[in-house]
């Protein structure tokens, strides 16, 4: 009894200086300061650096053209790299040693060398097999861009798929095989749908990087967004007006893409996140 | 005397250096319920997993209806052998109905309508009429395991293998699964059951097989086995249960 009373009377421990309330104010203050700095900087740029007439009238058509070139390359490479990635990923988990080795070598090469290097190999290296001027594809820059982006991103998606498959418990394959399904059937009906769901976040992440990787295509003379910025800058000596356009256009692809991936993730979760 | 439905003859299985099944001879008659008991690590589960070739054996022979399981096409032979796992292994991206219909539809090539009608009646039979459209994550362990039993039954197997199917369940859910298994036994299904549920073994089993250290050390009818085990190993195992 006496002991209990003593405990009740004990002084509360002294509060540390960084208590929860103070921490909240510090965070709030930091956010406000950060927002003010960013807004102020943007305002400063818009007010002093961006020419509104040029933004709307002169530069507009060139950027729209670049935007659709980039979008076209992104859509095609994206679809092809997901298909390629599934193949690479399946090769990576194959029980056949040569298949597994080739897939591993593929991934090591395309993840281990810069995309810029790969693009140059394709764009300049492949036509070198023909006598000068004899290369049959007339405008090779966009095909080369699509090939390069596809080969490169297939390696990353392949790794995502491999991780997704490995995260599926062995019991799933065993249960499917125990019903009499072949390896291919069990993969298709049971393992891959689950692996796809596991890999979706990583694949979505990679597709956003693919969009940003199009900026490297300026070295292939593809009329994409960064080269448009540089062209306009050298013609007008104005840098901030085209930069603003470039930022808007990249975000116009990446933000909806991110939303689309989150939609796919929600759809791939069968019970809609309901759990017992 | 008719030939046994499932027959093990001199079966040996190694995991690397470890000899897990040692010269197993065992026969299961049609419509018989054989319950395999024994301490963990004695090779009970491995024996089941060798039966449908989830594990390969190193020597010996396993026959189903007189036909060698080892020489048969593995996907064909597995259709005759239903397997239920300790960890359910339901397909999480399919509803209960789709889980049960998947085998007949994908393996036997039945139409979706036919497969789903059959699945519906099997789910009725295991008492899950109301849960057909639920995903595994929305079901209790006992319900999941009953779906898994229905999924195995959907292939119309000749024999059902049960691999410690109640070991992962909360105690209050064990009864519903054992109940379904008891009904199956009564309907004449041939069953090879690995379990730690001695009450079930005694009540439903036609024969008890005690395994220890990779060998069958004693077998007999439940009454005589549980009342008067003849071997010293059997007496020791039973005394530890009490």
Residue B3 is predicted with a pLDDT of 83
Q: What percent of chain A has pLDDT over 90?
A: 70
Write down the domain spans for chain A.
16-49, 63-268
**Cβ-Cβ contacts under 8 Å, A276 against chain B:** 137-140
The neighbouring-strand residues paired with B15 are B18
Residue A276 is predicted with a pLDDT of 40
Is the Cβ of A222 closer than 8 Å to some Cβ of chain B? no
Which of B75, B89, B92 is closest, CB to CB, to A174? Answer: B89
Question: 3-class secondary structure for A61-94?
Answer: HHHHHHHHHHHHHHHHHHHHHHHHHHHHHHHHCC
Does 1.25.40.10 match the CATH number of domain A63-268? no
Which of A175, A185, A270 is closest, CB to CB, to B106? Answer: A185
Strands (E), A13-134: none
Residue A275 is predicted with a pLDDT of 44
* pLDDT tens-digit series, residues B122-146: 999 999 999 999 999 999 999 999 9
- Interface contact flag, A275 B91, Cβ < 8 Å: no
- Interface contact flag, B89 A275, Cβ < 8 Å: no
Is the Cβ of B1 closer than 8 Å to some Cβ of chain A? no
B135, B161, B169, best to mutate vs chain A, most A CBs in 10 Å: B135
* pLDDT tens-digit series, residues A138-183: 889 999 999 999 999 999 999 999 999 999 999 999 999 999 999 9
Lookup: tokens for A94 = 């194959």
The neighbouring-strand residues paired with B64 are B6, B67
- Interface contact flag, B107 A179, Cβ < 8 Å: yes
Q: What percent of chain A has pLDDT over 70?
A: 93
Confidence check on the interface: ipTM exceeds 0.85, yes or no: yes
Is the Cβ of B83 closer than 8 Å to some Cβ of chain A? yes
């Amino acid at each position: 009894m006496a002991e209990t009373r003593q405990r009740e009377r004990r002084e509360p421990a002294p509060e540390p200086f960084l208590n929860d309330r103070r921490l909240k104010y510090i965070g709030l203050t930091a956010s406000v300061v950060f927002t003010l700095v960013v807004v102020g900087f943007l305002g400063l740029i818009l007010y002093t650096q961006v020419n509104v007439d040029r933004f709307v009238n002169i530069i507009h058509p060139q950027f729209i053209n670049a935007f659709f070139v980039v979008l076209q390359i992104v859509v095609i490479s994206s679809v092809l790299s997901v298909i390629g990635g599934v193949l690479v990923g399946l090769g990576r988990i194959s029980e056949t040693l040569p298949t597994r080795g080739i897939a591993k070598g593929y991934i090591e090469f395309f993840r281990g060398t810069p995309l810029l290097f790969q693009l140059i190999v394709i764009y300049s290296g492949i036509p070198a097999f023909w006598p000068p001027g004899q290369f049959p594809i007339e405008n090779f820059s966009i095909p080369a861009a699509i090939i390069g982006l596809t080969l490169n991103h297939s390696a990353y998606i392949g790794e995502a798929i491999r991780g997704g498959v490995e995260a599926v418990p062995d019991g799933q394959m065993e249960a499917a095989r125990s019903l009499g399904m072949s390896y291919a059937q069990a993969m298709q009906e049971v393992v891959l749908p689950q692996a796809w769901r596991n890999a979706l976040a990583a694949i979505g992440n990679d597709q956003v990087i693919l969009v940003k990787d199009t900026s490297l295509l300026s070295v292939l003379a593809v009329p994409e967004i960064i080269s448009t910025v540089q062209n306009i800058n050298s013609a007008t000596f104005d840098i901030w007006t085209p930069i603003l356009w470039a930022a808007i256009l990249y975000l116009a692809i990446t933000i909806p893409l991110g939303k689309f991936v989150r939609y796919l993730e929600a759809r791939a979760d069968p019970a809609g996140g309901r759990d017992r | 005397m008719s030939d046994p439905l499932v027959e093990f003859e001199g079966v040996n299985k190694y995991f690397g250096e470890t000899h897990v099944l040692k010269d197993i001879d065992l026969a299961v008659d049609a419509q018989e319920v054989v319950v395999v008991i024994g301490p963990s690590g004695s090779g009970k589960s491995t024996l089941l997993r060798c039966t449908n070739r989830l594990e390969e054996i190193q020597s010996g022979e396993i026959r189903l209806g007189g036909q060698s399981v080892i020489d048969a096409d593995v996907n064909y032979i597995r259709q005759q052998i239903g397997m239920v796992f300790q960890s359910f292994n339901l397909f999480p991206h399919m509803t209960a109905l789709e889980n049960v219909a998947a085998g007949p539809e994908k393996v036997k090539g039945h139409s979706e309508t036919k497969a789903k009608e059959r699945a519906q009646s099997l789910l009725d039979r295991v008492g899950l009429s109301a849960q057909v459209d639920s995903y595994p994550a929305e079901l209790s362990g006992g319900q999941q395991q009953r779906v898994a039993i229905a999924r195995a039954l959907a292939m119309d197997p000749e024999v059902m293998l049960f691999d410690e199917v109640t070991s992962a369940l909360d105690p209050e859910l064990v009864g519903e699964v054992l109940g379904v298994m008891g009904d199956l036994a009564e309907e004449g299904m041939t069953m090879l059951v690995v379990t730690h549920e001695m009450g079930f073994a005694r009540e439903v089993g036609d024969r008890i097989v005690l395994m220890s250290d990779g060998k069958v050390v004693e077998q007999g009818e439940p009454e005589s086995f549980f009342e008067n085990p003849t071997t010293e190993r059997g007496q020791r195992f039973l005394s530890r249960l009490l």
